[in-house]
Structure 1
């Protein structure tokens, strides 16, 4: 993604350089990622047969996405049968406008939200604020980044990059008095603030972890209980759901209820799992009087039928790939410039937004494959990253010098004699750059490599030359062994 830093257009590389200068950010991300990864290991080992669970999760998600038209129709029919209203949005702008239409109809002036990546994707907070509607994030991490006017830097832990001093300053500016950096003091302020917002909110907005097609139910996984307040206290409840977030039946939810919390936070089970089916019915003691479900496409349907990319829709937004990624570990989430950071963001953002905007994100990866191994539904993320790089090249988004360099490689590698000549020229040309046995360069095409690591030198002798020499030596030894002893000057009886 290209954004501006000091008035200049930047991409993921420039943002990464800035992130690498933030020692606190890097330490905080490493600490939290290590902690989550350790907890996940313990939680998955205690479950047993983790790979079997992963395989079943992959099968459920792949089947659902492959038959998404059927399950969407079934889900829609059951939501409406339970009294809910279903709206389909082709893109982010249509989804945001649908939310606005509902709020205008209800004459809403106050909105409370539970954590939702789709709401970030469509930028609903900014739109509501522009129309003078108060909108408050009720998840603690989301509330912190909202006050900081930032986007989440982690799918599960939005404020991973903030310390207690920064949070205290944000809360003080928001109206907190005599606050300290004590965790209990800060959470007490947030809790008291949220309680007042819950009680007077006109509309509640949530995301949707899973929609159950057979019943039209919406399932929410949370650890703070705020989603229950958002869905029950306001009279109107709006659900924002990516079109792929369905499960065929409640039996499939058992698998996801074991996979998601373990992969995300290392919990055996999430603290709150709320299942909402339609509007409040006669005799119910809680629940919204009216529920609206907005189903977002925004580029998702383009991936269906694509043999390479369809599996990205299997994602259950656990964030496990972020916790093992060596690139995310060093630069955090904001360097990706996208709502979705980490390996899943490096795949999802370019496919949901065609063009050059996020075309550089697939290069923000070492292709080590750790993300694919961590994914609880076995999305081959490293393969998808390679495919997107290939697509990036085919669409002509690479720089002129890069294209020329690879044309040069093609010429050199197409003929053995050309390759040998190129190696000899490189061996001579490197002499001015070699220091202490490796290449050091702050200029030219090598500077990006040598700024952070040692570049290897071209060997004094190529493998093929060494092989020919070895073959010659072996042949000489063989011939010598076959000579009669008399000819070699040995004893004769």
Structure 2
């Protein structure tokens, strides 16, 4: 599944930059994204800035709330049917830990087996190298248009934009990805990229941006799906080159796997003459037996299905059957940096099921765009800063580990038991360490130093407690404070401050346990 850590500018393909326009779209339409009402997309901001804007979009919040609650209920139902679900989670976690420990050897084993079966393996250190490799392979095939299977890795590196700059048009064939592409939007969910759009918005996007959309198109789901199907069918039947990601790669056979729900992936993986797969190096499993574990946990955790509708497996090249040229691009792009962190490397265990997004109270309210990354939600908050690096509180990536309540719901549903709350705390500590070297402290750092000075001394803390009477007065009968003057306004701008208790714990303890004459400020 799919997106771009460099946060590309949202431009129409075929705009003033001379970029390629997929046939069947309307280049004469006004350039730029099709926005939600009163909600232009904003990128490059810190999470608090972007979240504040997203919270004002009632329609998006309603769309997200309905969709995530539906997926949560489906997942809970099918997971509850599996008597050994916890054992499967333990097995998945153990397999991923084993993979991370032996990744170099497993990658070499994968390369040997892919090559032995007629495939060609390419190694890409970063996004620029991967994009260059793919563009050269497409040019070598003599075409200027490709079809794509939904892929997180290709969106991570901005492949569509890089191909367009090279004069190659890439058409997304997953329905949700197609919606996002036509709208010049960005995905907001790992599994359901267009989860932030409702049916009427999709109808409008099709009518405005898809040249062969029926003029009388309604917002009925079947009509929308059939319009997209008719639009894509010609692409499938004429495409010479397809580009995919990979959910898994089996090291001991050289087999790649893509799981999807619509059948578009199967069309892309079987009809074209050349298949190019871009895969993050962490997607390995050692054996087919290991793959069996994830083919049970992934569909239940992602779509709430007992098994995946379309599971495509291919091993190299088979004469006369399927693509006759297969290229595998193994992508690093910051993954070895994450692997070097003994704690943070657990984020690489992720199998992109999106279960953590669907239970996260923060994601449900702000959506995926607020994370400014192709990997939104709790897993994005720990994965993105490690893949791209961060430089302290001023860096947008450094704000992501703080985009959480640490409620632990993400860990409870993760099919490979990634302890995301602990990773968030680990990365928060890293941000704090990065800030210690600053000569001019941040406002946050100054506030924490002031809090430390107060809380480290019993007398000062007791004096501060006496000041809470002011907050009780401001709270009044409502029981909470909504507005405080600067600098406390930085807190109340996004949070209500509950009224302090009438009796502090210190006072209660003194009344219940201390003898007359003893001090109560210890």
**Is the shorter-chain TM-score for this pair beyond 0.5, marking a shared fold?**
yes
Give me the whole-angstrom Cα distance separating, in 2, the residues matched to 1:32 and 1:439: 33
| Alpha carbons of structure 1 residues 236 and 459: separation in structure 2 relative to 1, 3 Å | same
Q: 1:201-240 CA distances to partner (integer Å, 9 max, x unpaired)?
A: 1210000000000100101101111112112211110001
Does residue 139 of structure 1 match 2:180?
Answer: no
| Corresponding residue of 1:97 | 132
Does residue 463 of structure 1 match 2:505?
Answer: yes
Give me the whole-angstrom Cα distance separating, in 2, the residues matched to 1:412 and 1:29: 42
Give me the whole-angstrom Cα distance separating, in 2, the residues matched to 1:100 and 1:390: 40
Match of 2:316 among 278, 293, 296: 278
Question: Within 5 Å, which residues of 2 pair with 1:396-411?
Answer: 396=435, 400-411=442-453
| Corresponding residue of 1:62 | 97
- Of 251-260 and 15-24, more deviation after overlay is shown by 15-24
Between structures 1 and 2, the one with greater helix share = 1
Does residue 82 of structure 1 match 2:117?
Answer: yes
Match of 1:221 among 241, 259, 277: 259
Structure 1, unaligned stretches of length 5 or more? 476-493
Q: 1:45-69 CA distances to partner (integer Å, 9 max, x unpaired)?
A: 2122211110011111111111111
Does residue 353 of structure 1 match 2:383?
Answer: no
TM-score (norm 1): 0.91
Contact 1:112-1:204 within 8 A present in 2 as well = yes
Q: 1:20-69 CA distances to partner (integer Å, 9 max, x unpaired)?
A: 11112111111111111111111112122211110011111111111111
Does residue 414 of structure 1 match 2:453?
Answer: no
Aligned residues: 471
| Corresponding residue of 1:11 | 46
| Corresponding residue of 2:214 | 177
Does residue 124 of structure 1 match 2:159?
Answer: yes
Shift of 1:141: 0.5
| Corresponding residue of 2:375 | 340
Give me the whole-angstrom Cα distance separating, in 2, the residues matched to 1:2 and 1:89: 16
| Corresponding residue of 1:248 | 286
Give me the whole-angstrom Cα distance separating, in 1, the residues matched to 2:135 and 2:43: 33
| Alpha carbons of structure 1 residues 254 and 236: separation in structure 2 relative to 1, 3 Å | same
Structure 2, unaligned stretches of length 5 or more? 10-39, 518-522
Contact 1:2-1:12 within 8 A present in 2 as well = no
Contact 2:44-2:396 within 8 A present in 1 as well = no
Shift of 1:443: 3.2
Shift of 1:442: 4.8
Question: Within 5 Å, which residues of 2 pair with 1:231-380?
Answer: 231-281=269-319, 284=320, 286-355=321-390, 356-380=395-419
Give me the whole-angstrom Cα distance separating, in 2, the residues matched to 1:306 and 1:93: 24
Give me the whole-angstrom Cα distance separating, in 2, the residues matched to 1:6 and 1:190: 24
Contact 2:6-2:158 within 8 A present in 1 as well = no
Shift of 1:427: 3.0
Shift of 1:100: 0.9
Contact 1:362-1:386 within 8 A present in 2 as well = yes
Shift of 1:456: 2.7
Give me the whole-angstrom Cα distance separating, in 2, the residues matched to 1:288 and 1:253: 23
Does residue 386 of structure 1 match 2:425?
Answer: yes
Match of 1:435 among 471, 476, 479: 476
Question: Within 5 Å, which residues of 2 pair with 1:464-483?
Answer: 464-472=506-514
| Alpha carbons of structure 1 residues 8 and 187: separation in structure 2 relative to 1, 3 Å | closer
Shift of 1:462: 2.8
- Of 333-342 and 403-412, more deviation after overlay is shown by 403-412
Give me the whole-angstrom Cα distance separating, in 2, the residues matched to 1:189 and 1:2: 32
| Alpha carbons of structure 1 residues 6 and 342: separation in structure 2 relative to 1, 3 Å | closer
Contact 2:180-2:186 within 8 A present in 1 as well = yes
Q: 1:346-379 CA distances to partner (integer Å, 9 max, x unpaired)?
A: 1111000012241111111111010011100000
TM-score (norm 2): 0.86
Contact 2:280-2:331 within 8 A present in 1 as well = yes
Shift of 1:429: 5.2
Give me the whole-angstrom Cα distance separating, in 2, the residues matched to 1:366 and 1:54: 24
Contact 2:97-2:349 within 8 A present in 1 as well = yes
Contact 1:430-1:457 within 8 A present in 2 as well = yes
Contact 1:423-1:458 within 8 A present in 2 as well = no
Shift of 1:272: 0.8
| Corresponding residue of 2:36 | none
Give me the whole-angstrom Cα distance separating, in 2, the residues matched to 1:155 and 1:438: 37
Larger-gyration structure (1/2)? 1
- Of 346-355 and 164-173, more deviation after overlay is shown by 164-173
| Corresponding residue of 2:34 | none
Contact 1:219-1:276 within 8 A present in 2 as well = yes
Give me the whole-angstrom Cα distance separating, in 2, the residues matched to 1:364 and 1:16: 9
